[in-house]
Amino acid sequence: MGTAGRVVLPVLLCATALATFLVLAAGVRIMAPPRELETPAPGPEGIRIHLFRVAASAELEQLFGWHGYELGAVRTGEAPVPALLAGALPRDLGTVPLHGGRKSLFLAAVLPSVLYCNELVLVRRHRLEQLRNGEATPAASAEWVRALADRYGLEELAPEELLRRVDTVPVALALAQAAVESGWGTSRFARQGNALFGVRTWVRDEGLAPDDIGPGRTYGVRRYRTVAHSVCSYIHNLNVSDHYASFREARQRLRRDGVARGRWGHELAGHLHRYSEQGERYTETVRLVISGNALDDFETVTLTGEPDQAAAGS
């Protein structure tokens, strides 16, 4: 797993607390999300999330069935994606045949976290746009903007650059990279540390050491408390690291030119040659995963949270 360009930067996640866990069935738990995992702005449009853990792939499939969560219906727009965030992927996911259910289970498990983490970014971006357009009081938000600039790696406040960084990552691209980097959820890093994207860390005790690490190398693959933490960290990494400046510039052009979202994943994959030591070969692999699994279908799907439904297990 070559990862020359994976730079770890801190992800500051706000505190939240929801209901305590609810036992739905043996091995299946709906729990409160970790306190470091934030939620979008409160209100009737806010998303209520549920963090779940399952012991086995069969239980994951059962949980999705309870919620009527089926990727076919999501692809066609007939159903939204429930706000069920995976605490971890099933340890036995590798025993499920790749084309006999593993791909679908993996995508269904990771998709809500991708949508959710993108939603968190959109909340910040919307507020920035309001400030830029004079729709909010700048004086009341100056401290917030300065804190956001610091969070996104800017030593000095540069409004246009900040807006370029505070943006979403294409759903298709995130899903494809998660699949490639984790072996569709079966890698040791994914199983032991919720590390779906191979993000490196040089901080002792934060990472898992690669089996083939060479002499003198001290990095590890960063581990995370939940799948959502891994996804949010990945998105933040693309938004702040100098390695991905061209990615952010290309994304800004696509947004400015009104290019259909369904094309963003394929286009932006070409700007991730520094994500892996494989370079251009890596970007082509990611593009093949996007096209071969029709991941662009998920680019415009929506996330919904219905606490009563989750509590009932229906």
Does residue 4 lie within any of the structural domains? no
At 275-290, the pLDDT tens digits run 988 999 999 999 999 9
Sheet holding 84-86, edge to edge: 22-25, 28-31, 50-53, 84-86
pTM of the model: 0.82
Please tell me the total number of residues recorded for the chain in this structure: 314
Spatial neighbors of 29 by CB under 8 A, at least 6 apart, are: 21, 22, 23, 52, 53, 54
Domain assignment present for residue 104? The answer is yes
Residue-wise pLDDT tens digits, 205-239: 665 556 665 555 565 678 888 999 999 999 999 99
CATH number at residue 94: 1.10.530.10
Number of structural domains found in the chain: 1
Q: Note whether residue 214 is domain-resident.
A: yes
Domain that holds residue 84: 22-303
Residue 12 in any domain: the answer is no
Please report whether residue 209 resides in a domain: yes
Closest of 66, 54, 50 to residue 90, by C-alpha: 54
Nearest Cα neighbor of 192 from 215, 164, 223 is 223
Asked whether residue 2 is assigned to any structural domain, the reply reads no
Confidence of residue 156 (pLDDT cuts 50, 70, 90): confident
Runs of H (alpha helix) within the chain = 57-66, 71-75, 103-132, 138-151, 159-165, 171-182, 188-193, 227-240, 245-256, 264-269, 280-292, 307-312
> Does the residue 314 lie in any domain?
no
Burial 61-83 (b: 16+ CB within 10 A, else e): bbbbebbebebeebeeeebbbbb
| 160: pLDDT strictly greater than 80 | yes
Residue 277 lies in a domain: yes
